[in-house]
Structure 1
Amino acid sequence: MGKFLAMLILVCAVGAGAGMYYLQVYGYYEEVELKPGQDVVLVPQDGDKGVAIDYADFQAIDASSSPIRYRACFSSPLSRQELAQTYTVSQHYQPRIAPGWFECFDAEAIGAALEAGTATAFLSVKNIEYGVDRVVAVTDQGQGYVWHELNNCGKKAYDGTVVGESCPELPGANQ
């Protein structure tokens, strides 16, 4: 009877582990439906609303389980130097690791390119959800990448510190 219970516990543990792995890597993600002219936008230096740029080969994934699971890849005929003359450059970037099956998005390579200066990060959408900004990076080769990044208000809201007056009001704070 003891061997049976031990095997049952082992089978349950393996099943639970496999289920959690599947949910983290595959379960919640879905492909994003293309919205031509709206998928890749950058905030002009003298504005606050994103403007569409030229892009092709767009593919993206997202998950409703978290506001920072969005990842996208595209190509652009515009150079990062041209874009930097017109659009808001972001110094706050940390590409998030994408699931292995979404092969076009390599967060480590993107981060290395940003650090090496062969890619530039731009602000795409401020507060796409509370405390979360959309960031676009473009490389010297014209490859582009998009992900969501916690901004200062989001970092404060999610770690439990006082948000402060400089941040917009938290949704549902008056309820």
Structure 2
Amino acid sequence: MKLQRVLQYAQSLLTDAIQEGDIAVDATAGNGHDTLFLANLVGDDGYVYAFDVQKEAVDATLHRLLDNALEHRALVLKDGHENIAKYVTKPVAGAIFNLGYLPGSDHSIITKPNTTITALETLLQLLKVGGIIVLVIYHGHDGGAEERDEVLRFVSSLPQKHVHVLRYEFLNQQNSPPFVVALEKVKEMGNK
């Protein structure tokens, strides 16, 4: 077995958690790669909700889905992930965030700790037991270290009897390499 790269590992975790017919969330649609990946996992009976605040990201994601004839499996929303609760009401099997900025676009438009944490709180309530939230944390840009630190502080404070939190990273890579934080819901949050 060889070590999986960060994005391979993120996809592996989602593949284990999401089955055909499930609901999934791409909290940062970006160029649509994760939305397409999730649309393939949920099948024709499942559904993906994809969020992005940038029109170019929404357009790129819609085109990627159309090019693969999977647009019927997803709703791509030009809205922030902090508003997930406005659109998603059914239990979620898996979700992914790519924290940072949209590659090839305005690097001043970045994900922010307050909206990311709001989205995480919402998703933890919606997440099925056994469901997974994957965060791919890119932190080598202006504002990235602040978001990384606040998100890590938040997830580290989650009660272990309800949520298992994993960090997966390569320690000897240069230039602030991205890493994965995965949250697995093991028990409903309201139960004692």
Which TM bucket (shorter chain)? Answer: under 0.3
Highest Rg: 1 or 2?
1
Using the size of structure 2 for normalisation, the TM-score is 0.26
User: Could you say which structure has the higher helix fraction?
Assistant: 2
Using the size of structure 1 for normalisation, the TM-score is 0.28
